[in-house]
Chains A and B, each alone.
Chain A
Amino acid sequence: MTDSKKIPEEPRQDEQQSGIDTGPGQSPKAGTRKSGPGETGGVTEMERRQFLKIGLAITGVFAGGTLLSAASVIDNVFASEDDYAEKYPYRPHYSMLIRQSNCIDCERCLEACKRTNHVPEYGYRTQILKKDYPESSGRTVEFIPVLCNQCNNPPCVRACPTRATYKDETNGIIRMDNSKCIGCKTCMSACPYNARYFNEETMAVDKCNFCYDTRLSRGEALTACAEACPAGARIFGDLSDPGSEVYRQVHDIEKAVWVLRPETGAKPNVFYTKG
């Protein structure tokens, strides 16, 4: 890490340019107040959404991910809005919303994950990253939980030579067939989220699978990390179910929601928000 000194510690330039206060609990005020039918004054819902999208496109990159309205989240996740309008590709469509400002770095999620999924000491399926804001007037540090983004266009699945890693056709989870893994580590190079490591116990690459084998397939509703979180930082649920909390939050037009590294086109299913 000899070169680490060369990297400036201040916030990224693009953030500064965006001029957005990235403090906790803040949402952009680009005219996003929900209004009743009487208050729209002839502006249709579609026009309002379009306006919103333009506004958010201008504000640009927000806290390391692209800032998305509910409408543009859809663009980033699905091939087109039509696909979305008709149906979600997976049922249940497992997804996680990270409420980043809620995370207090207690690491109970990390412990629960290791315990539940027998993650060895040298590896991890999920991590909590720390971001400093030395000049912030409020909190000067923020914790960002990260895990496999269970992408809809997964670079790891494309790169795996033997289809040892694959996207579950039912629920969209990126899973591993350990017996097919040759250990070439191309998936690790391909992953834009550093979500994979080589597990010497199973002699296969290991990754978060939303606790599919250890919990979901056994009738549990939540992943170990989501259940362990005392602060509600990890909202896990079915994005295709309008009754689920993850659906409501991701589709709340007043909420700023983003994904990490949208430029790779991986179309992740882990969303981020504050508050």
Chain B
Amino acid sequence: MAHEISSEAAGAQVYGEQLAGIDQAIRKTTYWVALLGMAILFVVGVAAGIHAKSIGSLHAFNATREVPWGILISTYVYLVVVADGVCLVSSIGHVFGRKDFVPLASRSVFLAVATLLGGFFVIFFDIENPFRMAIYNVISPNLTSAIWWMGTLYGALMFFMGVEFVFLLKGKHKLATAAGFLGVIAGVAALSNLGAVFGSLDGRDFWYGPFMPIFFIASAMMSGAAAIIFFTLLAYKLSNRKMEPAMKRALEVTAKVGILLIVTTLFFTLWKLIIGLTGGEAKTLALRSLLSGHYAVNFWILEITVGMVIPLVLLVLSKGRSLWLMAVAATLMMFGIFFMRYDMVIVGQTVPVQFQLGVSEYAGLISYAPSTHEILISLGGIGLAGLIFLAGEKIFKGHKSETH
């Protein structure tokens, strides 16, 4: 009898081990498939970018004289703002000493570097002469140019994040904190300045004013919280690691930050609309295309509902503990916020600058839809960010150092 029971137990154990083995194999396969997918996106993006350069942007891109900034700029903004937001949200722990957030540090810093590189990849192909940029940004700087500051500050952010990551790896926490602090300064400066790239263009009513820099800080931290939740859960899912209580707690507080910043961003968006609609015809034209015109689906469905409202409800319901709900919320946010950036960049250029002249050439809104090249390069940037992140999980063994 006893013999029978033990053999049954042994059988169950073997069966269980087999199942676990299969599960592990599936996860491993999923990891490699994900890595391969990202690599393919990246390689196709590189090919599209090189081809675009060879035939010229006039033929490859749908950005025009009137809409010079297309999806490449909005994707760049999306990626570097995610990076910046990840840096700022995670800094609550590794720079400002809130212990709950500390387990996020290593992965977040690495994620920030990965998404920054993805953004740089996209803008490399958007800029017509990137090599001239490398030279003349240094020897012929224009300090009144927000774009000059953008390159410089995001370069600085990249540098400090890279340095911080190395210090974290080596366990030199004081130095890491110092680099992280400099990173936060560069990050806040870079983000608000990125807002100013748009906000300082006084010929463009939809952007002009001090709103953009402030809005960028809030919405960036929102996207940063989403990215931290999304990528942390993804990493654990793919590696089949049991989540440590400290990491669970870290995600719980990140979800709370996410809730706060979604509400803040919704609040800013609401007031942008209410105040914006009090302006004259040319000033409200862009807003009305968002609210009820060509971009209404993007705005109401993708940006507001998918990007903010549903995730807000899910995050509240999750209480920061239901990882499944948080995963869905973060995924929706990563998707919806992409369109938030797209709308911000494109809609700002749809009103012709000469609209108020009342001439027939500029009587209506200017349309833009991305070209295949532009879409592939944008996906290439996202692919590169994903590829670096996934490779980092393998190379740095799931960024375990911080969770011990």
Contact = CB atoms under 8 A, between A and B. Distances in A.
Interface of A: 1-7, 9, 11-15, 64-65, 122-123, 127, 129-132, 144, 146, 155, 158-164, 179-186, 188-194, 196-198, 200, 203-204, 260-261, 264-266
Given A12-B281, A179-B132, A260-B354, A160 B365 contact: no
Contacts, number: 170
Contacts of A182: 127-130, 132-133, 136-137
Interface of B: 56-58, 63, 65-66, 68-69, 126-130, 132-133, 136-137, 140-142, 144-148, 151, 197, 200-204, 280-281, 285, 289, 293-294, 349-350, 352-354, 356-367
A261 to B, nearest CB: 7
B203 A198 contact: no
Given A162-B136, A180-B140, A261 B353 contact: yes
A161 B57 CA distance: 20
A3 to B, nearest CB: 4
19 contacts: A2-B294, A3-B367, A4-B364, A6-B293, A11-B358, A129-B354, A129-B357, A130-B361, A131-B357, A131-B358, A144-B357, A144-B359, A161-B136, A182-B137, A189-B201, A196-B65, A198-B68, A198-B128, A203-B128
Contacts of B132: 162, 179-183
Contacts of A180: 132, 136, 140
A6 B142 contact: no
A123 B142 CA distance: 27
**SS of B interface (majority):** loop
A264 B68 contact: no
B357 A260 contact: yes
Q: Which 9 A-B pairs have the closest CB atoms?
A: A183-B128, A4-B364, A192-B203, A161-B148, A162-B136, A185-B68, A64-B357, A129-B359, A182-B133
Given A131-B359, A155-B201, A198-B58, A181 B129 contact: yes
Given A155-B201, A162-B142, A183 B129 contact: yes
Given A64-B357, A198-B58, A261-B203, 19 more contacts: A3-B350, A5-B364, A7-B365, A14-B280, A64-B359, A155-B201, A160-B142, A162-B140, A163-B142, A180-B136, A180-B140, A185-B63, A189-B69, A189-B349, A192-B202, A192-B203, A192-B353, A194-B354, A200-B57
B316 to A, nearest CB: 37
A161 B363 contact: no
B297 to A, nearest CB: 13
Nearest to B64: A197
A158 B58 contact: no
B356 A162 contact: no
Contact of A265 (B140, B197, B202, B293): B202
A161 B147 contact: yes
A12 B294 CA distance: 23
A90 B200 CA distance: 27
A67 B201 CA distance: 24
B325 to A, nearest CB: 38
Contacts of B201: 155, 159, 189-190
Contacts of B204: 189
B147 A184 contact: yes
A2 B363 CA distance: 12
A12 B364 contact: no
Contacts of B200: 158-159
A132 B140 CA distance: 45
Given A158-B145, A182-B133, A260-B357, A3 B128 contact: no
A33 to B, nearest CB: 30
A14 B356 CA distance: 10
